[in-house]
Structure 1
Amino acid sequence: MQVAQEPRSTPASPSAAVDAGEPRLPLRLFALKHGDTFLVADAFGDIGGEGDGLFRDDTRVLSRFALTLGGHLPSLLGARISQDNVFFTCNLTNRPLPPLGGAPVPEGVLHIERTRFLWETRLYERLTITNYAELEAVAPLGLSFAADFRDMFEVRGRHREARGRPLPTELTAASLTLGYAGLDGIVRTCSLAFSQPPDALTATRAEILVRLGPRERREIYLEVGPNAPALPSRARFRAAAARARVAIRARRRGGAAVRSSGRLFNEWLHKSRADLALLTTELPTGPYPYAGIPWFSTPFGRDAIIAALQTLWLDPPLARGVLAFLAEHQAEEVSPFQDAAPGKILHERRKGEMATLRELPFARYYGGVDTTPLFVMLAGAYAGRTGDLAFIDTLWPSLLAAMAWIEGEGDSNRDGFLDYARAADTGLANQGWKDSHDSVFHADGSEARGPIALVEVQGYVYAALHAMADLAGHRGEPGRAATWRARARALRDAVESRFWLEGDGYYALALDGEGEPCRVRGSNAGHLLFTGLPSARRAERVAAHLRGLPFSSGWGIRTLASGQARFNPMSYHNGSVWPHDTALCAAGLARYGARDDVVRLMSGMFETAVHFDMRLPELFCGFDRKAGEAPTGYPVACLPQAWAAGAAFMMLQACLGVTVDGVRGEIHIDRPRLPIGIDRLTILHLTVGAVTVDLTFQRLGNRVTAFPEGLDPSPVPVILHA
């Protein structure tokens, strides 16, 4: 599902009068979020009930919300989300209106502005109606509504044998409450309230006649929440709006800021930062980026870890919040239904009726093979970035439990590799980041049988072993540190021996349950570069593939090289382009010195963002780039998506070659490059321990130099590697 980008067919509106002769054009969708509540609606501000709606705790609590004027759709002038992602605003005007006790109203003289935002669990909306005619006008407003209380997975198409029951609608003069008694024993409600009593109010529709003198303006306020509020009003709207804006600004102010000489480039980074702020929810354990809207607006382990890794150099507290939450939700017992085992890190958490009733395993689901080593990787990276070893001490039992699973039950066939095979048919068949049912296969297209060992996952384990060795060294445990380093060396040798395909000059996608390599060229090997496992010689051969035409679409790196079995640029994982995947590959290329390749990839991602209203979607189609044409969107991609927004910052770090050593209190800059078209870039308020520094990169002819701004000498050593 898209936000403000991908077209989709809008379902028919609820009123026959509205539908008659008025088919809707495909419309873009727009999203708002706060906490565990989010809203997806079209450019009119309407909810049609297909995949859009107002959702709370994985349940759609408003499935229809459609405005009419004189029984017809108004004409759309434009719609937008504010730059800070707080407000949605659309501008509408009237079609010709018949006389209602006066002269007919000509087209285009009534202006309706719909402004809305979410705060806590409530939707606040203001309708501003202005009459630009020289005569009095009557605006007959209609609002249709419904609440189907469907679980998120029902909305996504999952069939249920039985559902709960709707409750009788409670009506007052200016409000109504819709209710649903779920099979889980929970009563879910949705209340709508108006600042003035409608002229007619039923369980499905409100009618309001607004009489306006010449040049007169009128405001109507609506609120939608789990219970009826005090009377909606201008004062309530403004007070809640101020709190919402302050909250999002506080989240955006966290961490360092980036300013450059490129206006559009700044806009991209600003929007990416705003999207991360929108998706980040303050949990008791700290900030946590939910994965994406609409399908994944909930805690996911893998997505949050990667988003935290992408932004760690700028915003370490986000990583701390992710680590704290995942440690608190680490598995402690064996559950085949949840794919859980002691030490595993959470893949996904859901709160809906189907999860509560165990119709699905996702209330707490652990079916991700890569999340546990990524958790350890993030802990090591966080410690290196911040020097916050006291926090690592609190995580140490969780890290030991994670490693015990990785080196124990996680290697189900005892071949030395972390593998997966789902424990129950209700779980995910594939449990790496490419978790489509068809994403792991052999060169002839045949299915790979489990247990499956993915190549990039072995890289994550390699990095996790090094992270544990470093942390043990900091903790004064040299024996453990030496053991983990030895295991990392052994794993590296095993991967190079078993996964490397000399004839192809590339790594196998995976080993199947028989130990046979899947001789398929996927972007997974780029993640292996990110972990630093390959030798320099083999890394260069992988890099040559990644920069070649089968992988490079011109916009980004395809998940699967063209010409491979099952390649399809319109698929979810077999030939599409995922910005976070391209960013991880870019970071891997930078690790081996291929910084010019990173500059090229970042240029493609930036140009993609320009075509998607300065936002990178979850994924887009992997068609070859053609002159004068935009990238092709993927119809049901999430936008915004946390690790897509974070991709901009990971690629920028890879360009600049910046590493912050929080243990030693130093900044290292390795052979920096600036993005194409950028001559000057400054990182403001970059924290190193207890101090901050402003760091500027300047293009000077064919080279880029870097220097701290302000105090001389700098409070932080900046070490430039030519």
Structure 2
Amino acid sequence: MGQSNTIRILDGNTFVVSEDTGDIEATPSEPTGLFSIDTRFLSRWVLTVNGERLNALSYDDLQYYEARFFLVPGMATHYVDAKLSIIRERTVGGSFREQVTILNHDEKPVDLEIRMDAGSDFADLFQVKDEILNKKGEIYAEAESDRLRLGYRRGSFVRETVISSSESARYDRNGFAYSVHLEPNEQWETRIDVQTHAIGPGGRDLRMGLRVHGTERLALQHDLEEWIAKAPKLNSEHEELATTYRRSLVDLAALRFSPLSLGGQTLPAAGLPWFMTMFGRDSILTCLQVLPFAPEMSKTTLRILASLQGTRFDDFREEDPGRILHEMRYGETAAFEEQPHSPYYGSVDATPLFVILLDEYEKWSGDVDLVRELEQECRAALKWIDNYADLVGNGYIWYERRNTDTGLENQCWKDSWDSISYSDGTLPPFPRATCEVQGYAYDAKVRAARMAREFWGDPAYADLLEREATQLKERFNRDWWVEDGEYYALALDPDGRQCATLSSNVGHLLWSGIVDHDRAEKIAHHLVGPRLFTGWGVRTLAEGEIRYNPIGYHNGTIWPFDNSFIAWGLRRYGFTEEAATIASGILDAATYFHGRLPEAFGGYPREQTKFPVEYPTACSPQAWSTGTPLLLLRTMLGLEPHEGHLAVEPVLPVGMGRIEVLDIPGRWGRVDAFARGRLDLHSLAD
């Protein structure tokens, strides 16, 4: 189903994907339906009037949690003389609610048979994604006098959908119906409530621990207004920037996810539709992006990830002591260990990123208590880097999956099967080590040294970490530098042979600080040069590489989140014009997506396409794409915590105009930042 006729509404743990009529007719391969905690609770939801399907006049996804559909009976050729109109108003919160209103515009009374076909396949989200619906339990439907109960049972694993209506209905196993008489200009309406239940061992409903706004629209609206009111205010002469900023704040609110049994705390879920759950890497990077605008997300994320940190060796889940999880799932395949995501630990970057986020959060917030609270978890993460991630024994972080059935082959952020290759296009053997992860390890050690010296009272440990970081930087700049290309290799194979492909990963090295200063200018030139930079952003893989494809998932597309960290890294090394160039391209692209940057878009040259080309299966909204404009704002304004204060050193692209960001929260209270665009981007082409 294409994006053009797909309507998505969501609120944290629950989301609905439907046609533009509001109907849901799912197949095993389509992510349409009502989903919660990795299960599809409705796969059929079709409204008819007198046995006739409805057609959309218009629809409006008013807020992230609600949508409204304006419908008439019949096909498009019958619109003109339609005597009935139907309005479906839909809201998701702690549950799913739909109000159906039917208006009679005829001069005569009418008798109507209104029916909603309802059903559920209770597909696990992995089954939908893999296009394999193989249910091993019992699906049942029970029609009661005042409700329809749909369910699935496999041992103690039970999922149920309970449907009821404010107006009296006739329920059967396949839906429910109403017989309605309407006088001229009369209207009829009913409210339909859909409750989802996830029963676990002991008969407890796992959803009872979730954050629930309440199902009333006013409660949801109040929650959104509070969220936006807490965020800094942006005033800008660049209207599109203001639109993108507000879109980002709203989508962040929508993506707040409450892990089960953790007291209603929220962190950013990775993205709709496939990744509405907790991801170590995605949640951490999103928190880093939004620190100046929503710092509370970092504290919750750190605590939750710390509580689920690895404690043992488990090859199925790829768990080690100290390792931070990659992904957590709650569906059937995870519950019965057909997938390892309960949780799954197969990423090599989440663990150093955990340490980085804790330090960066303290620099912004002054929350020393949290740094002390998570000292042991930080030490365990650093021990994992040294003792368990160095599979080759040469001081780098490597990966090789131990779960060879369902584990990830590539455990870096570019986790598709063909994302890591030699310059001749062939794939290296395992274990593999990617360049950006070594940068994260370096940064984690430097930051942990600061925390050890200032907050943990352990200067000897701080000295050790600093020595290790210095040695890692020296070793890295020796082993990873591609002499004839003057950039860093994408990866090393276990024999130390370079995957000497030019990729966007080198920008993350600037962000981490592992790049020698005398090489930074070469990296900056590559990042804004024609092989990597398209005019919209930096490609994941440089044009001219064997596996380059402008719509290859990790081999030539543009990822907004990737670009935000690249720009931040360029700024760190003093390349302010190059950082502004990338920020300008990405923010220009955002205007073509109505302010909502997708997960990825095509890596075609800007002069060739004139607009950013959509990637067909990109998640939208996606957390770290949503966070991208916020990190770019921080980068353009030069916002950095410095000795307890907020330093502001703006460099804006030309045409950006005046920007004001008011009430930026931090250890300094709330302060304002002001800037005016003054940069001539044409100078980069000279």
* TM-score (ref. length: structure 2): 0.91
Q: What is the match of residue 684 of structure 1?
A: 662
Q: CA deviation at 1:210?
A: 3.7
Q: Does the C-alpha gap of structure 1 residues 243 and 156 become closer, same or farther in structure 2, counting only changes over 3 Å?
A: same
Q: What is the match of residue 91 of structure 1?
A: 70
CA contact (8 A) 2:399 2:432 kept: yes
Q: What is the match of residue 287 of structure 2?
A: 308
Greater mean deviation of Cα atoms: 588-597 or 329-338: 588-597
Q: What is the match of residue 185 of structure 2?
A: 215
For residue 675 of structure 2, give the secondary structure of its aligned residue in structure 1: strand
CA contact (8 A) 2:235 2:661 kept: yes
2: distance between equivalents of 1:355 and 1:485?
40
1:43 counterpart = 2:20: yes
Q: CA deviation at 1:238?
A: 9.9
Q: What is the match of residue 152 of structure 1?
A: 125
2: distance between equivalents of 1:141 and 1:301?
46
CA contact (8 A) 1:530 1:587 kept: yes
CA contact (8 A) 1:313 1:659 kept: no
Matches within 5 A, 1:306-385: 306-385=285-364
Q: CA deviation at 1:47?
A: 1.4
CA contact (8 A) 1:177 1:227 kept: no
1:130 counterpart = 2:94: no
Q: What is the match of residue 672 of structure 2?
A: 694
CA contact (8 A) 2:363 2:644 kept: no
Q: CA deviation at 1:105?
A: 10
Q: CA deviation at 1:602?
A: 2.2
Matches within 5 A, 1:572-651: 572-626=553-607, 629-651=610-632
For residue 408 of structure 1, give the secondary structure of its aligned residue in structure 2: helix
Of 537, 545, 548, 1:556 maps to: 537
CA contact (8 A) 1:302 1:370 kept: yes
Q: CA deviation at 1:702?
A: 6.5
Q: CA deviation at 1:287?
A: 2.7
CA contact (8 A) 1:562 1:575 kept: yes
Q: What is the match of residue 234 of structure 2?
A: 258
Q: CA deviation at 1:280?
A: 1.0
For residue 579 of structure 2, give the secondary structure of its aligned residue in structure 1: helix
Of 505, 521, 524, 1:524 maps to: 505
For residue 613 of structure 2, give the secondary structure of its aligned residue in structure 1: coil
Greater mean deviation of Cα atoms: 153-162 or 473-482: 153-162
2: distance between equivalents of 1:613 and 1:40?
19
**1:254-273, CA deviations, whole angstroms, 9 ceiling, x for partnerless residues?**
44232322332211110111
For residue 170 of structure 1, give the secondary structure of its aligned residue in structure 2: strand
1:258 corresponds to which letter in structure 2? L
Greater mean deviation of Cα atoms: 64-73 or 362-371: 64-73
Q: What is the match of residue 171 of structure 1?
A: 143
Q: What is the match of residue 117 of structure 1?
A: 91
Matches within 5 A, 1:213-612: 213-226=183-196, 240-282=216-258, 283-284=262-263, 286-425=265-404, 426-475=406-455, 476-612=457-593
CA contact (8 A) 2:645 2:668 kept: no
Q: What is the match of residue 33 of structure 1?
A: 10
CA contact (8 A) 1:93 1:110 kept: yes
1:192 corresponds to which letter in structure 2? I
For residue 299 of structure 2, give the secondary structure of its aligned residue in structure 1: helix
The percent of aligned pairs where both chains have the same amino acid is 34
CA contact (8 A) 2:654 2:679 kept: no
Q: What is the match of residue 194 of structure 1?
A: 165
For residue 687 of structure 1, give the secondary structure of its aligned residue in structure 2: strand
CA contact (8 A) 1:599 1:676 kept: no
Q: Does the C-alpha gap of structure 1 residues 571 and 140 become closer, same or farther in structure 2, counting only changes over 3 Å?
A: farther
Q: What is the match of residue 717 of structure 1?
A: none
CA contact (8 A) 1:105 1:137 kept: no
Q: What is the match of residue 101 of structure 1?
A: none
**1:436-459, CA deviations, whole angstroms, 9 ceiling, x for partnerless residues?**
111111111111111111100000
Note the residue ranges of structure 2 that are not aligned, 5 or more in a row: 199-212, 681-686
Q: Does the C-alpha gap of structure 1 residues 424 and 682 become closer, same or farther in structure 2, counting only changes over 3 Å?
A: same
Q: CA deviation at 1:568?
A: 1.6
Q: CA deviation at 1:31?
A: 2.3
Q: Does the C-alpha gap of structure 1 residues 602 and 210 become closer, same or farther in structure 2, counting only changes over 3 Å?
A: farther
2: distance between equivalents of 1:587 and 1:294?
28
Q: What is the match of residue 706 of structure 1?
A: none
CA contact (8 A) 2:25 2:43 kept: yes
1: distance between equivalents of 2:476 and 2:151?
56
Q: CA deviation at 1:227?
A: 6.4
1:226 corresponds to which letter in structure 2? T
1:279 corresponds to which letter in structure 2? L
2:417 corresponds to which letter in structure 1? H
Q: CA deviation at 1:218?
A: 2.3
Q: Does the C-alpha gap of structure 1 residues 690 and 519 become closer, same or farther in structure 2, counting only changes over 3 Å?
A: closer
Q: CA deviation at 1:345?
A: 0.3
CA contact (8 A) 1:174 1:196 kept: no
2:188 corresponds to which letter in structure 1? R
Q: What is the match of residue 174 of structure 2?
A: 204
Note the residue ranges of structure 1 that are not aligned, 5 or more in a row: 1-7, 10-25, 98-103, 229-236, 704-722
CA contact (8 A) 1:257 1:314 kept: no
1:155 corresponds to which letter in structure 2? V
* TM-score (ref. length: structure 1): 0.87
The count of residues paired between Structure 1 and Structure 2 equals 658
2: distance between equivalents of 1:658 and 1:508?
31
CA RMSD of aligned residues (A): 2.4
